[in-house]
């Protein structure tokens, strides 16, 4: 008999037979904080954006999610490109400025589809799926490179791409990201329903999920607690089955009347009178219910890089200048006051 396989061949076979990487321990502190969105005139790296991060840190924020956007013209188009909202240099500045404040960073790209949303993305043929994934990988490439170079603590490979998440191409995408990035790799599923169907959790370090279920009428707090409690129990079960921690990548609500029935609805979709107290109450309820061992962080949608954003007359998602700020400060600096506000009526 010969002396065996050449070293290179043996190594190649070993790589092919190697099991998927096990989940790594998540960094501390927990991923509790804001999705910080860059707005016109206040790019990451500017003094105003730094001030906005400082103000978020003063509330007890431990982490931020930085959101570079990808863009495609309609849900069925494979012509996806990196958006112009954030350059690589701006993404790099966001991570560096957050780290300088002691904040952990999740880099969390999202697909923007005009007059629609990322969950509607679905191609009409296998050829178009091949193009879409190739374009997505190209758009993701710079994001991965900067996240790796700046040692961002976590990277989401995608967010709320419900129509794509059963595709096998994600396995190769994950392997490619892992070859270049050593932090925690996750995917942000849309609501618990998508999270329960994802086939590739075993290849990732954590289960990411965004939570925007219908919560009922604004004044039905008992019903809202029931909805939230049911979702939290399902997340507990998913974590137990998968052996993965849960990171809630988004909770949020407009500070507007009627917002609880459709928490995902934007200010552009429906005009309404301001109701900052409703926003504060719903966020307090979520934070109280999501305080459980399986949950390793809750990220609020949203905080803007404009330090003067928000205010009591604003009806959008930002919590800046609204009562929700105190709710979050209580959660992140002293949980007792959140529990007092969010106890079951």
Average pLDDT in the 89-111 region?
Answer: 98
> Which has the higher per-residue pLDDT, 8 or 299?
299
- pLDDT at residue 342 tops 90: no
d(CA 91, CA 174): 21
pLDDT recorded at residue 140 = 98
What value does the mean pLDDT of the chain take?
A: 91
pLDDT recorded at residue 30 = 85
| Local confidence band at 176 (pLDDT 50, 70, 90 cut-offs) | very high
Tens digits of residue pLDDT in 220-274: 999 999 999 999 999 999 999 999 999 999 999 999 999 999 999 999 999 999 9
The count of other CB atoms within 10 Å of the CB of residue 277 is 14
- pLDDT at residue 85 tops 70: yes
| Local confidence band at 106 (pLDDT 50, 70, 90 cut-offs) | very high
pTM of the model: 0.90
Our separate counts of H helices and E strands in the chain read 10, 11
- pLDDT at residue 339 tops 50: no
d(CA 253, CA 317): 6
Identify which of 62, 26, 34 has the alpha carbon closest to the alpha carbon of residue 283: 34
Average pLDDT in the 55-67 region?
Answer: 97
pLDDT recorded at residue 29 = 56
pLDDT recorded at residue 142 = 97
Tens digits of residue pLDDT in 12-49: 333 333 344 444 555 545 899 999 999 999 999 999 99
> Lowest mean pLDDT: which of 14-23, 105-114, 122-131, 269-278?
14-23
- For the chain, strand residue ranges (E) read 33-37, 63-66, 69-71, 81-82, 104-107, 110-112, 154-159, 184-190, 206-211, 246-251, 295-304
pLDDT recorded at residue 336 = 57
d(CA 101, CA 73): 37
Handedness of CA 76, 77, 81, 83 (dihedral sign): negative
* Residue 42 DSSP symbol: B
Tell me the domains of the chain and their CATH numbers: 26-342 (3.20.20.80)
């Amino acid at each position: 008999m010969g002396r065996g396989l050449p070293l290179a061949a043996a190594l190649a076979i070993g790589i092919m037979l190697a099991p998927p990487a096990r989940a790594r321990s998540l960094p501390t502190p927990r991923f509790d904080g804001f999705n910080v969105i860059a707005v016109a005139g206040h790019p990451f790296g500017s003094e105003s954006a730094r001030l906005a991060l400082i103000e978020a840190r003063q509330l007890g924020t431990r982490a931020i999610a930085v959101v570079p956007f990808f863009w495609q013209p309609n849900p069925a188009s494979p012509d996806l490109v990196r958006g112009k909202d954030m350059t690589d240099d701006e993404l790099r500045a966001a991570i560096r400025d957050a780290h300088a404040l002691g904040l952990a960073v999740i880099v969390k790209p999202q697909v923007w589809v005009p007059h629609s949303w990322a969950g509607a993305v679905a191609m009409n043929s296998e050829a178009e799926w091949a193009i879409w994934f190739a374009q997505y990988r190209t758009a993701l490439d710079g994001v991965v490179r900067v996240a790796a170079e700046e040692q961002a603590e976590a990277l989401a490979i995608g967010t709320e791409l419900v129509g794509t998440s059963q595709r096998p191409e994600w396995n190769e995408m994950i392997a490619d990201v892992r070859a270049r990035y050593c932090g925690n790799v996750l995917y942000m599923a849309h609501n618990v329903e998508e999270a329960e169907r994802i086939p590739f959790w075993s290849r990732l370090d954590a289960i990411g999920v965004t939570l925007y279920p219908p919560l009922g009428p604004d004044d039905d707090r008992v019903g809202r607690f029931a909805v939230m409690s049911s979702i939290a129990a399902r997340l507990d079960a998913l974590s137990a089955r998968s052996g993965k921690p849960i990171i809630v990548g988004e909770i949020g609500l407009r500070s507007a009347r009627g917002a609880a029935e459709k928490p995902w609805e934007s200010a552009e979709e429906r005009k309404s009178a301001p109701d900052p107290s409703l926003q504060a109450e719903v966020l307090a309820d979520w934070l109280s219910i999501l305080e459980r061992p399986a949950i390793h962080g809750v990220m609020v949608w949203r905080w803007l890089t404009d330090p003067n954003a928000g205010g009591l007359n604003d009806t959008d998602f930002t919590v800046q200048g609204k009562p929700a700020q105190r709710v979050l400060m209580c959660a992140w600096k002293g949980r007792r006051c959140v529990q007092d506000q969010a106890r079951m009526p």
